Amino acid sequence: MLYLTRKAEFSASHYYHNPDFTPEENARIFGKCNNPNGHGHNYTLEVTVKGAVDPRSGFVVDLKQLKDVMNREVLDALDHRFLNKEVPEFFRRIPTTENLAIAIWQRLEPKLKAAQLHRVRVYETPRTGCTATRCRRRRTVRPTASATIPMGTGTTTWSRSR
Amino acid sequence: MVEITVSGPVDEPTGMVCNLVDLDRFVGKEIIERYDHQSLNLLPEFKTNVPTTENLCVAIYEIVKRRFGQAHLEKVRIEETMMNSFEYAGEGEKL
C-alpha cells in the first residue's frame, strides 16, 4: 500500500454561531469568532490517498486527476468564499475546522476512482488543524482536532482527539 | 527530500532508539550515493519499473529494510515537490 499526499491552499472566511444558543452563550463559547461579519483564514489542505502501485504506470494514482478532482470538488467551492453563506454544508452546520475536514472528505470520497481516500487534514493556521479519517468500526468519518501541529514534518503528533 | 522513520525501544545506557550518526551514515552511503545526481532510468531497479516517486519510495524502503539492522523500519517518505509527497511502509495497510 502506497500513500500519496497532495497539498493545496485556499482562503475563506467564516464565523461561528449556533442559533440554538442565546446571544450570551454564543459570545461565551465562540468569543471573537462569533462576529457575524466574519474573519478569514488561509487554509492548507492535505489530501492523502492510498492504493497499490500500478505495475505498468508506476502510479498509485494519476496526480493530474487527483489535482483536478481537488480543484473541482473542493477549491472551486471553498476558495474565496464566505463559508456560512456560500457553501451549503455550512448553512446550518458551524464551519469549524472539524466540520470543514468532514465536508471535504464527503466531497472528495465519491469522486475518487483509482485510489482510496485515506486522510483529509485541514490546517486553519500553521499551528492548528484537524484531520478526518475513516473510523473502521463505525464506518463513519472521524475528525481529530489538534493544536501545535509541526507543519511539513513527517512525524506529526496529534495532541488532542475527540 | 527523503525521510526514513525507524522505531524501537530506547536503549537505557545511550538513551537512543538507534545511533542517528549510524543511520545518517547508512542513508548517505546506501541511498544518497546510489541515487543523487543519477539518471534513475539507467539503474537496474528501474529497468522494468517506471522510476516514479512511488517506485523510488518502494526501492528505498527495500534497501533500508534489507540492510539497516539497528532499528525497525517504520516508513519511507519522499517529498517530490512542496505540494506532493509519497509514503511507503511495506505491504498492507500500515499507516
pTM, entire model? 0.86
**pLDDT at residue A149 above 90?**
no
- Ramachandran angles phi, psi of A98, nearest 5°: -60, -55
Task: Going from the first residue of chain B to its last (95 residues), give the mean pLDDT of each consecutive group of 10, the final group possibly shorter.
Answer: 94 92 95 97 96 98 96 96 97 88
Render pLDDT for A93-137 as a digit per residue (tens, 0 to 9): 999 998 999 999 999 999 998 889 999 999 999 888 899 988 766
B3 Cβ contact partners less than 8 Å away, ≥ 6 residues apart: A154, B76, B77, B78, B79
Interface test with B, best of A2, A4, A5 (most B CBs within 10 A): A2
Nearest to B86 among A4, A56, A118 (CB): A4
Q: Does B47 touch chain A (CB under 8 A)?
A: no
**pLDDT at residue A140 above 90?**
no
**pLDDT at residue A162 above 80?**
no
Contact B57 A5 (CB under 8 A): no
Residue B30 grid cell: 546506501
Cα gap A93→B81, rounded to integer Å:
35
Cβ atoms of A30 and A17 within 8 Å: the answer is yes
**Rg of chain B taking only CA atoms, in angstroms:** 14
Cα gap A106→A96, rounded to integer Å:
15
With H, G, I as helix, E, B as strand and everything else as coil, classify residue A121: strand
The answer, yes or no, to whether ipTM is higher than 0.95 is no
Cβ atoms of A69 and A104 within 8 Å: the answer is no
Contact B95 A155 (CB under 8 A): no
Output the CA–CA distances (angstroms, integers) from residue B68 to A6, A154, B62, B65, in the order listed.
29, 20, 10, 6
Render pLDDT for A1-28 as a digit per residue (tens, 0 to 9): 999 999 999 999 999 999 999 999 999 9
Domain ranges of chain B: 22-74
Element (H, E) at B70: none
- Ramachandran angles phi, psi of B2, nearest 5°: -115, 135
Q: In terms of CA atoms, which chain A residue is nearest residue B93?
A: A1
Cα gap A1→B54, rounded to integer Å:
10
Render pLDDT for A44-97 as a digit per residue (tens, 0 to 9): 999 999 999 999 999 999 999 999 999 999 999 999 999 999 999 999 999 999
Cα gap B61→B6, rounded to integer Å:
11
Nearest to B52 among A3, A7, A59 (CB): A59
The B residues from 17 to 36 touching A (CB cutoff 8 Å) are: none
Domains belonging to chain A, first-starting first, are: 2-136 (3.30.479.10)
CA distance B29 to chain A (A): 22
Question: B42: how many CB neighbours lie within 10 A of its CB?
Answer: 9
Contact B55 A60 (CB under 8 A): no
What was the pLDDT predicted at A72? 97
